[in-house]
Amino acid sequence: MEVFFHLKLTTNITFPKILIAIILSIILPLETFSQFMDDFDKELKLDPKGLTGWTFRTGDGNATMNFVHSNKGYSSIYVDASKDKRGIWWALIRRRISENMNISLIQRPEFEFRIEAKVKVSHAPKRINLHINTQRTTDFHTHLMEYDIPDTTNWYVISMTTRNFYAEPEDTIYAQLALMDWGFDKYRVDIDYYKVDIVNIDSIGPDLGEPIPYHPPVPDILIYDYHLEVNEDSMIDLIYTDMNFNNWSTVDDDGNKISLLTVSGNQYIILKWNFGQLKNKKVKGSGLLELTTYSLQNSPDYKKDFGMIRVTEILGGNKNWNQNEVTFDNFSNGKPLNEVLNSQMIIDVEVNNKKNGKNYITISRPVMQRLLDGRTLGIAIKPLGAIVASFYSSENKLFAPKLHFNLFD
C-alpha cells in the first residue's frame, strides 16, 4: 500500500536542511522525485541520439539550426531560414527525460507528464510548442501544445500537462520544444530551463502560459455570442502594386456581377473589422473566421502543405486603408511585407472545394485579443503553394466574411 505524506513544519521549530532531506528521503516514496531538469547554467549536453543529451534538427524546408550554450545561464536555439522558399519548416530540440523516472506511474489515471520551460524569443508575436512522445509514437500532433509569445523583451514560463498519455515501464520517453513556420529570416529562442515531472493532476493546478491546441476541432458557430461582419475587405497584388482590386468580380450564368476576394500566387486578401464598443474587452476562447467559397483551383497531386491558404495577422502598415482605395503600395506604407504581416501564420487550412461551401477557420484566443485591442490590425490570407481560391466579398451580404467569438461578461 502506497502512502503519500505532506510534511508540515511548525513555525517555532527549525530543522537543519540535511535533517529535512533525510526525513523526506525516508517518508516520501521515490516516485515523488521523478523529475528531469536542465537549467543550462554551466554547459549544454548534446547527443545526436537524444539519449544522454539534447539532439536538434530541422525538416520540411531549407532552414538550418544550431543549439548552443550562451555562457549567460541559458541556452539558445538559432534558426536560419533565409534560404527557405515555402515557409513550412520546423526546428526542434529533443532528448530522453525518462532515465530516472518511475514510468509505471503513468499507467495510473491520476498521473500525467508535465513539461515546463522558461523562454524568450527574438521575434514576436510568435508561437513555439511543447511535445512529449515515446519511441513508439506515430502521431506527433497529440500531446502537443502551442504557446503564443507576445514580445521579445520578457521571459515567459510555459507548461504543458499531457492528457491520457500511455506509456509502458520500459518505454523511452522523449520531450521536445519546437518552432515552426516562423518565416524567412534568422531567429533565436532562449531557454533558461526545461523540466519534466510526473504529476498528480488532481493537485498540480493549471498550466502556465496559455496552451493553444494544435489544429483544434471546429465547433458549431451557435456556441458564439458575437457574429461580426467584416468592415473592410479587399485584395492587394504583389505585381500590380499601385492598383486597387476592390472591384474584382465575375459574372454568373444569369449575367449578375459577383464580387469576389481571390487568393493566388500574387494576390492576397486583406480583412479588417470595426469592433466599436467591444474594443479592449476580454476574449473568451478561440474564435472562427467564416469565408464562403465561390471557386477553387488547385491540383490533387500537390505534396504536403501545398495548395492551401495561409491565414496571418496584419501587424503594421497603413491601418486606415479602405477597400475602395487600397493598393499594395499604400497598404504596406513603404515597409517590407514581412514587417506588415506576421511571417508566422495563424493557421494553414484546406479550402472547401464546394461552391457556397463554408470555411470555418480557427483564430486563437491571443490573436482574437490582439484584434480587439487594436494591436493586430486585421487578417490577411495568402497562398500556400500554387492555388487560386475565390471567396464571396462583403458586397454579397449573405456570404460576407465574418468573425465569430465570445467575450467575458
* Host domain of residue 300: 221-405
CATH number for the domain that contains residue 300: 2.60.120
Q: Got the DSSP string for 218-243?
A: PPPGGG-SEEEEPSEEEEEESSSTT-
- Mark which of 187, 211, 235 sits at the end of a domain: 211
- Determine the residue type at 187: Y
Return d(Cα 376, Cα 387) in angstroms, integer. Answer: 26
Q: Quick one: pLDDT at residue 23?
A: 43
How confident is the model over 90-148, as pLDDT tens digits?
999 999 999 989 999 999 999 999 999 999 999 999 999 999 998 887 776 788 999 99
The reported pTM is 0.87
Confidence of residue 300 (pLDDT cuts 50, 70, 90): confident
Residues 120, 145, single domain; the answer is: yes
**Residue 206 CA: distances (Å) to CA of 140, 159, 202, 274, 381:** 23, 9, 10, 34, 34
Exposed e or buried b for every residue in 27-47, given b needs 16+ CB within 10 A?
A: eeeebeebebebebeeebebe
The residue to which cell 507576445 is assigned: 150
Q: Quick one: pLDDT at residue 123?
A: 97
Return d(Cα 190, Cα 117) in angstroms, integer. Answer: 10
Residues 58, 196, single domain; the answer is: yes
How confident is the model over 157-182, as pLDDT tens digits?
999 999 999 998 899 999 999 999 99
Return d(Cα 169, Cα 192) in angstroms, integer. Answer: 30
Residues 322, 378, single domain; the answer is: yes
Considering only the C-alpha atoms of the chain, give the largest distance between any 2 of them, rounded to a whole number of Å: 90
Return d(Cα 84, Cα 62) in angstroms, integer. Answer: 5
Q: Quick one: pLDDT at residue 7?
A: 36
CATH number for the domain that contains residue 189: 2.60.120.260
Kindly state the percentage of the chain with pLDDT values over 90. Answer: 78
Name the average pLDDT for the chain: 90
Residues in the chain: 409
Nearest CA to 363 out of 293, 301, 283, 307 is that of: 283
Residues 399, 376, single domain; the answer is: yes
Residues 253, 346, single domain; the answer is: yes
- Mark which of 168, 193, 211 sits at the end of a domain: 211
Q: Is the pLDDT of residue 287 over 60?
A: yes
Residues 257, 162, single domain; the answer is: no
Residues 187, 230, single domain; the answer is: no
Nearest CA to 265 out of 290, 232, 298 is that of: 298
203-226: average pLDDT: 92
3-state secondary structure 327-368: CHHHHHCCCCHHHHECCCCCEEECCCCCCCCEEEEEECHHHH
Residues 302, 236, single domain; the answer is: yes
Return d(Cα 5, Cα 3) in angstroms, integer. Answer: 7
How confident is the model over 43-96, as pLDDT tens digits?
899 999 999 999 999 999 899 999 999 989 999 999 999 999 889 999 999 999
Residues 302, 267, single domain; the answer is: yes
Strands 144-149 and 226-229: unpaired
- Provide the number of structural domains found in the chain: 2
How confident is the model over 241-269, as pLDDT tens digits?
999 999 999 999 889 999 999 999 999 99
